[in-house]
Amino acid sequence: MTRLSESVDRATALLASADLGADAHVRELLELTHQRRSMDLSDLSPTEQAILIAERSQQLQPSTGALAARITDASTKGRPFIAKFGIDPTGAEVHLGHAVPMLVLSRFQRMGHQVVFIVGDVTAKIGDPSGRSDERPALTDADIARNLATYQQQVTPFFDFTRAKFRYNGDWLREVKLPQLIEITAQIPVSMPLQREDFRQRLEAGKGLSLAELLYSVVMALDSVEINCDLEVGGIDQFLNMQMCRKVMEICGQTSELVVATSLIEGTDGTGAKMSKSKGNYVPVAAAAGEIFGKLMSVPDRLVPPYFRALSEWRDPELATAEQRLNEGSLHPMDLKKILAGEVTAAVHGVDVAMTARDEFTARFSKRTFAEVESLPTISDLGQPIVETVKALGFAKSNKEISRIAQQQGLRLVVETDTGQEQVNLTPDEVREPLATVLKDRIDGVTRDHHLYLKVGRKLARIATS
């Protein structure tokens, strides 16, 4: 029995019989599954390795069997199996969607294979056109360096960078001669990059499409040629780019790399759009534990299974056991969602912090006793207008946004005592008044036994009353 199968058997037994609303059982489960994120997987056979990777791949080209054979071939010849991941540091903030391929890479690394990160200091200046509706603004060298530094730091909880190789594609792309590029591109039909739906849509809409963008995937493919890559990992939105890598490697006389494309996770708003910073439906990897936990608790129930598949180390038997209990009614969907939130929070902050976030969430939204929550900001200046207080807390960015929240009855005063809780909705007109004035007008007879809070959407701050 392998280390992984033993862990899965233990977790499956726990999932099948334990009270998964109880903190002690949840902690036991989180500790068990969290250990897998650093588990040595070198005792898996090539076939077992390929199956593990295929389970969490939307596309594995050409096949699971081909991956097992490639791993076997590398072992037989005594050479490293090389898995590539390319980073174009075009943005500074990383969200959970970016972490999905990191988990697959982590598995390759823990199987004993060599992971190579290609940092696109040259390709970032073109900008990956995948999924874009227009041309990307050009980045400077300073932009790229700054973005890369934050990227590596933020994704470290999902991947051990100390055991990976880093290569900058400028080291070889700046040496590419025009005759070499012409020789390669002469064997690539223009129809190949124009298969992309995003390119076609832009052309049909009369929007810009530069020649550099058409060449992006060819330039990216030269990275695979440089390291003689065995396999490349990326999101499904990179699938056509990785197809070009296979084509260019073949042109250059190498064995084409295998491709693992991971799913793009849907955003937390449940609208069907992928997780994206531009849509605001994302979970920042660098966020505080309470924020990660809370954002995951806000997702629709239907997203819980795909989030587990994309963001955890759970195997299919564990997911099937949880689903069976849901169908039987012996597991509440809210309890499973709390386990998901704890799983992801633990990946970033550790199990102890994840359990604290769970306790605070329960106190804040289940038991409805905010006084038990320790990590709340405190409002001391009651003399400034509520809109200014809300902006100072970072709960909203503009007066317009605050007014909209108030119109939707999302801005409230909360009065809590030992006997219960009262919530008072604030109007758009009241949010322009000082907090002290509104408290005097709307809240009667505040004493030391009262705890006061300002609630803005799902965010909460304690109001100092003395």
* Calpha distance 188→191 (Å, rounded): 8
- Distance CA(131)–CA(124), nearest Å, equals 15
Rounded Cα distance, 371 and 364, in Å: 8
d(CA 368, CA 372): 9
Fold of domain 59-262: Rossmann fold (3.40.50)
pLDDT band, very low/low/confident/very high, at 142 (cuts 50, 70, 90): confident
- Sheet strands side by side (includes 258-262): 59-61, 258-262, 231-235, 82-87, 114-119, 165-168
Residue for token digits 């997911």? 319
Q: Is the pLDDT of residue 209 over 90?
A: no
- How sure is the predictor about 7, in pLDDT bands with cuts at 50, 70 and 90? very high
Query: What is the b/e burial string over 256-294, where b = at least 16 CB atoms within 10 angstroms of the residue's CB?
Result: bbbbbbbbbbbbbbeeeebbeeeeebbbbbbbebbbbbb
Whether 126 shows a pLDDT value over 70: the answer reads: no
Question: Whole-angstrom Cα distance, residue 398 to residue 387?
Answer: 8
Q: What are phi and psi of 451, to 5 degrees?
A: -115, 130
Would you mind telling me the total number of residues written for the chain in this entry? Answer: 466
Q: Is the peptide bond before 62 cis (omega within 30 degrees of 0)?
A: yes
CA separation for the pair 184, 359 (Å, rounded): 58
User: For 14-30, how does the pLDDT look when each residue is reduced to its tens digit (9 = 90+)?
Assistant: 999 899 999 999 999 99
pLDDT per residue over 50-91, tens digit each?
999 999 999 999 999 999 999 999 999 999 999 999 877 767
| Lowest mean pLDDT segment, chosen from 71-85, 87-101, 279-293, 426-440 | 87-101
Report the pLDDT averaged over residues 91-113. 90
Q: Which of 59-63, 246-250, 285-289, 315-319 has the lowest mean pLDDT?
A: 285-289
In 3-state terms, what secondary structure has residue 166?
strand
Residue written as token pair 């233990």? 10
Q: Quick one: pLDDT at residue 134?
A: 47
- The percentage of the chain sitting over the pLDDT mark of 70, rounded to a whole number, equals 92
Is the pLDDT confidence value at 353 over 90?
yes
Q: Give which of 57, 20, 40, 9 is closest to 317, Cα–Cα.
A: 9
pLDDT at 276: 85
8 A C-beta contact, residue 83 and residue 233: yes
Please enumerate in sequence order all residues whose Cβ is within 8 A of that of 225, keeping only pairs 6 or more positions apart, or say none. 248, 249, 252, 254
Q: Are 308 and 319 in contact (CB under 8 A)?
A: yes
3-state helix, strand, coil in the chain (%, to 5): 55, 15, 35
C-alpha 32/C-alpha 3 separation (Å) is: 12
**Can you tell me the distance from the alpha carbon of 289 to that of 294, in angstroms, rounded to the nearest whole number?**
8
The tokens of 404 are what? 């909209």
The number of angstroms, rounded, from the C-alpha of 79 to the middle of its chain's C-alpha atoms is: 33
pLDDT for 460 beyond 70: yes
Q: Are 402 and 396 in contact (CB under 8 A)?
A: yes
Strand partners, 114: 82
Question: Among all chains, which residue has been given the structure tokens 């530094």?
Answer: 149
Poorest-pLDDT segment among 180-189, 264-273, 449-458:
449-458
* Beta-bridge partner residues of 454: 413, 461
Residue 421 binned pLDDT confidence (cut-offs 50, 70, 90): confident
State how far the Cα of 415 lies from the Cα of 413, in Å rounded to an integer.
Answer: 7
**3-class state of residue 111 by DSSP:** coil
- Rounded mean pLDDT, 133-137: 49
How far apart CA 86 and CA 173 sit, in angstroms, is 14
Within 13 Å, how many C-alpha atoms sit on residue 445's CB side?
2
User: Which pLDDT band holds residue 372 (cuts at 50, 70, 90)?
Assistant: low
Q: CB atoms < 10 A from the CB of 401, how many?
A: 15
Q: Where are the domains of the chain?
A: 59-262, 378-463
Position 89, amino acid: P
Tokens 């386990």 belong to 339
Closest CA to 453 of 418, 421, 428: 421
Question: Per residue in 41-63, is it b (16+ CB within 10 Å) or e — as a string?
Answer: beebebebbbebbbebbeebbee
Mean pLDDT of the chain: 88
- C-beta atoms surrounding 116 within 10 Å: 21
Question: pLDDT exceeding 90 applies to what percent of the chain?
Answer: 50
Report the C-alpha gap between 363 and 389 in whole angstroms: 24
Cα 80 off chain centre by: 29
